[in-house]
Structure 1
Amino acid sequence: MTKNEISEKGFEIVALAGDARSLYLKAIKLIKKREYEKAKMEISEANDILKEAHQCQMDLLTEEGKGKYSDLTLIMAHGQDHLMTAILLKELLEIVFLDLYQDLHSIQK
């Protein structure tokens, strides 16, 4: 795999992880409005996009594991950063925001 191909994968990861992150943030806003079903739809779409980003990462890891390349580009590192951020936001959203807000709102009723 060439440096250009690695960078292209990095750009793809940045774009996909960024899209997922935006949808997770939109879901948080919906949760704050108590629009849980809409939020769950946004989360589901974001999860699908995040899976694509993770697959790009796995493709690169597989290639590296086979010894097909060893160069890391700044763009690829940037993509990894975006992916990690989106994954963390997903985990916080599902664990903290969705569960906590639903529990709090059910107590208030």
Structure 2
Amino acid sequence: MAEMSQEQLEAAMGLIINSGNAKSDAMEAIQAAKSGDFGLADEKLATASQSLVEAHHAQTNLLKEEASGNNMTVTLLAVHSQDHLMTSMTFNDLAKEVIDIYRRLDAE
């Protein structure tokens, strides 16, 4: 049975952890905007964006390794980590839109 290398495992876990943090911060940003705290909402969005940058670094490391000929064993964990990243990116984009709606409602 093929296994992931330690570096691949760490990269996959980095994707999962940072993507999860980004999604949680984006959800907290929405909740802050819902209660009218747009300063906190902006802070949480900034933190979410930084977590996504970290997740992208982990993904880039995996891509560089594969591009240099060190193919990654595709495992459920590897697929799960990519799923986390894509879901978090989408959720972050949607959170920005929801917060914009709350800002407009608050301005009325």
The verdict on a shared fold, with TM-score over 0.5 as the criterion, is: yes
Whether 2:105 is the aligned partner of 1:104: answer yes
* Alignment counterpart, residue 69 of structure 1, candidates 47, 67, 71: 71
* Alignment counterpart, residue 35 of structure 1, candidates 16, 37, 43: 37
- Alpha carbons 2:23, 2:88 under 8 Å: kept: yes
Give, in whole Å, the separation in 1 of the partners of 2:25 and 2:66.
31
Counterpart of 1:99, as a letter, is D
Give, in whole Å, the separation in 2 of the partners of 1:33 and 1:92.
18
Once the two structures are superposed, what CA deviation does each residue of 1:17-75 show, in whole Å capped at 9, x if it has no partner?
A: 11111111111100100110111001111111110001100111121122222422221
- Alpha carbons 1:7, 1:73 under 8 Å: kept: no
Show the counterpart of 2:10. Answer: 8
Give, in whole Å, the separation in 2 of the partners of 1:78 and 1:12.
12
Q: How many equivalent pairs are there?
A: 105
Q: Which runs of no fewer than 5 residues in structure 2 stay unpaired?
A: none
Counterpart of 2:4, as a letter, is K
> Where has structure 1 moved over 4 Å in runs of 4 or more?
none
Show the counterpart of 1:23. Answer: 25
Q: Which runs of no fewer than 5 residues in structure 1 stay unpaired?
A: none
Q: If the length of structure 1 is used for normalisation, what is the TM-score?
A: 0.88
Relative distance call for 1:51 and 1:4 in structure 2 (3 A) is same
Counterpart of 1:97, as a letter, is V
